[in-house]
């Protein structure tokens, strides 16, 4: 086979893998946000890696938040940053708007999300807040 054609095939395969991974991560975040908006701890938990060090503290925080607040969550920006070994990293911006419940400052917060596979499915492993601003 001609070397340039083989190189092109390899590049297309890598690009297709990256696109598939990006779509999987977007789908996980869509399910995560749907669970948050429905105040469905089981649905949110299904998007989290059960062995993550933040799993317990995050689900406990959600239990408390779901009781106090009525907040609409929306993803306003998604930047797939890449895959390294068993991890995928994405920079994701979320908008939080109060719809009822306790006092809450509407905001837009940017996070660095890290995903890891669990039983052949990508799950949220951890996330780190990068910045937040009131809206």
| Average pLDDT value for the chain | 88
Give me the pLDDT at residue 7, please: 44
3.10.450.50, 3.40.50.300, 3.40.109.10, 3.40.50.1000: CATH of 3-134:
3.10.450.50
Phi and psi of 100, rounded to 5°? 165, 180
Q: Is the pLDDT score of 10 beyond 70? A: no
The CA distances from residue 16 to 10, 11, 44, 80, in Å, are 10, 9, 28, 14
How many Å from the N-terminal Cα to the C-terminal Cα in the chain? 57
What's the pTM? 0.82
| Phi, then psi, of 77 in degrees rounded to 5 | -155, 145
For the chain, give every domain's residue range: 3-134
- pLDDT tens per residue across span 45-73: 999 999 999 999 999 999 999 999 999 99
Residue matched to tokens 């890598």: 14
């Amino acid at each position: 086979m001609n070397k340039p054609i083989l190189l092109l095939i390899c590049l297309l395969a890598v690009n297709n893998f990256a696109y598939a991974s990006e779509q999987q991560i977007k789908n996980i975040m869509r399910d995560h946000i749907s669970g948050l908006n429905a105040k469905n701890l089981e649905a949110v938990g299904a998007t989290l890696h059960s062995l993550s060090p933040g799993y317990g503290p995050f689900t406990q925080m959600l239990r408390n938040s779901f009781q106090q607040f009525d907040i609409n969550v929306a993803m306003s920006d998604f930047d797939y940053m890449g895959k390294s070994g068993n991890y995928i990293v994405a920079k994701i911006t979320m908008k939080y708007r109060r719809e009822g419940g306790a006092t809450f400052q509407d905001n837009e917060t940017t996070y660095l999300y890290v995903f890891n596979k669990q039983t052949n499915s990508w799950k949220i492993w951890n996330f780190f807040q990068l910045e937040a601003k009131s809206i």
